[in-house]
């Protein structure tokens, strides 16, 4: 059990020693980094040892599909609106930090040497937004096929099924793209507003087409 964290710590300490041997990092800086890394490992060990380890403390995945307006007469008058909650809730599960951390690590490692901190943050944020938008489309497709299989004995039609499933997915993409456009317009990058609006329209059209096609194939295959 101790082999993996100890080996990781040794590799980090050796990685800090490489710039010292190359002459790009002073010994005082290396000692400071070694102290910070070692202290972080000790603090993490103590927190992890004292933290509760009961799995019931963690929130199950279905807790991410929050319904703010529960209906008292759901058994007498069922509706299709919860389908959209499940699609967005599944995206919240697939974009949790522990899931996206690996993807962000590869994005940061792919950056060329000499990339500034502001550019690296912008690239990482843009990559996360793209990952989130793609996850919304993938989640809508998965929920469409699963819901169509469960609704096979019913007489649900294509248009209500598609609207109920996709409208929250489209709203989530519109909300995300709206913030991207707002933050892009606040920068000094030339053409950021035009580029953001073009990407927003393209993402919304892509989401609508993806949901419509997925629901059509799901309804045909049930």
Q: How confident is the model at residue 165 (pLDDT cuts 50, 70, 90)?
A: confident
pTM above 0.85, yes or no: no
Query: Which CA distances in Å does 4 have to 10, 40, 98, 156?
Result: 10, 16, 18, 53
Q: How confident is the model at residue 10 (pLDDT cuts 50, 70, 90)?
A: confident
**Is the pLDDT score of 61 beyond 60?**
no
Listed residue (96, 98, 99, 126) closest to 111, CA to CA = 126
Q: How confident is the model at residue 52 (pLDDT cuts 50, 70, 90)?
A: low
Q: How far apart are CA 166 and CA 168, in angstroms?
A: 6
* Tokens of residue 138, six digits: 């993938």
Binning the chain into helix, strand and coil, the percentages to the nearest 5 are: 75, 0, 25
Q: Is the distance from CB of 181 to CB of 107 less than 8 angstroms?
A: no
Higher pLDDT, 137 or 80: 137
Q: What is the mean pLDDT of the chain?
A: 78
pLDDT at 59: 54
Among the residue ranges 26-40, 91-105, 140-154, 203-217, the one predicted with the least confidence is 91-105
For the chain, the domains span 1-58, 81-222
């Amino acid at each position: 059990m101790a082999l993996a964290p100890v080996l990781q710590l040794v590799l980090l300490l050796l990685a800090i020693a490489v710039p010292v041997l190359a002459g790009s990092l002073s010994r005082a800086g290396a000692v400071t980094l070694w102290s910070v890394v070692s202290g972080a490992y000790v603090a993490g060990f103590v927190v992890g040892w004292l933290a509760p380890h009961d799995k019931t403390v963690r929130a199950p995945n279905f807790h991410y599909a929050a319904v703010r307006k529960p209906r008292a007469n759901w058994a007498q008058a069922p509706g299709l609106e919860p389908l959209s909650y499940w699609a967005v809730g599944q995206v919240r599960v697939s974009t949790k930090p522990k899931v996206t951390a690996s993807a962000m690590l590869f994005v940061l490692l792919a950056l060329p040497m000499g990339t500034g901190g502001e550019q690296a943050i912008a690239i990482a944020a843009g990559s996360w937004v793209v990952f989130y938008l793609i996850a919304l489309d993938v989640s809508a497709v998965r929920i469409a096929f699963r819901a169509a299989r469960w609704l096979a004995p019913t007489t649900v039609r294509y248009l209500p099924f598609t609207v109920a499933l996709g409208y929250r997915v489209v709203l989530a993409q519109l909300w995300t793209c709206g913030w991207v456009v707002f933050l892009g317009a606040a920068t000094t990058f030339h053409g950021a507003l035009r580029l953001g609006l073009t990407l927003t329209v393209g993402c919304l059209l892509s989401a609508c087409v993806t949901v419509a096609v997925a629901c059509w194939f799901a309804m045909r295959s049930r």
